[in-house]
Structure 1
């Protein structure tokens, strides 16, 4: 049995597989009290509250980017925050262009990329939610 475990560990190292912690990285968010179409003045809307889970060991920063899945070419932007082990990123950590779906309700997707101090990607997670 021990030989089989060592073989799996060696194979994982040779294949460059990510550690299990990176696979567990996820997050959720809520729009909070964001008023509809508040981006008349671009980049003045604070980010939603993000609840992080399974952030990879060694993470020094997390980059967030938002996309409207119905209009992916619109530049909503996002931001990068320093990470020091907290489980919540509070509103106001960065500014972005808020949702303003033409023709009604759209689904928006946030992507979070965890990086170490050298900029190496340690993990990536996505979360989607409709607005309004």
Structure 2
């Protein structure tokens, strides 16, 4: 009986999170971006668009990772939330753009929405080959 109740609880939790467009750990940001040829090996970050931003978000912590070489630090930065859902091109202060030595690599931005105290309210990710 306890196993049945536990399974029912887990299924109910998963369904309610899906209905609310949330992961079990909280809401998920929708993140999108597009690399252009001029972003290759550049310190100018692309424009990022962020949706599903939770109330109380004061800033975003943004990081870029090369999924093919995850130990390489591409940096990112923290930017204030102005409510527009757009992080302008070049807004990241400590950023090294995609620069695969040969072929293409998969790059992933991770964006965390932070409250005034720095607590994470939501996270989102977006990937693109370059």
State if a TM-score over 0.5 links the two structures.
Answer: yes
Matches of 1:80 and 1:112, distance apart in 2? 9
- Confirm whether residue 37 of structure 1 aligns to residue 68 of structure 2: no
Q: TM-score, normalised by structure 1?
A: 0.74
Match of 1:112 in 2: 111
Corresponding residue SS for 1:62? strand
Match of 1:80 in 2: 78
Structure 2 unaligned blocks of 5 or more: 1-12, 14-19
The structural deviation recorded for 1:35 is: 4.6
Matches of 1:126 and 1:116, distance apart in 2? 18
Number of matched residues?
109
Structure 1 unaligned blocks of 5 or more: 1-11, 13-18, 39-44
Match of 1:26 in 2: 30
Q: TM-score, normalised by structure 2?
A: 0.75
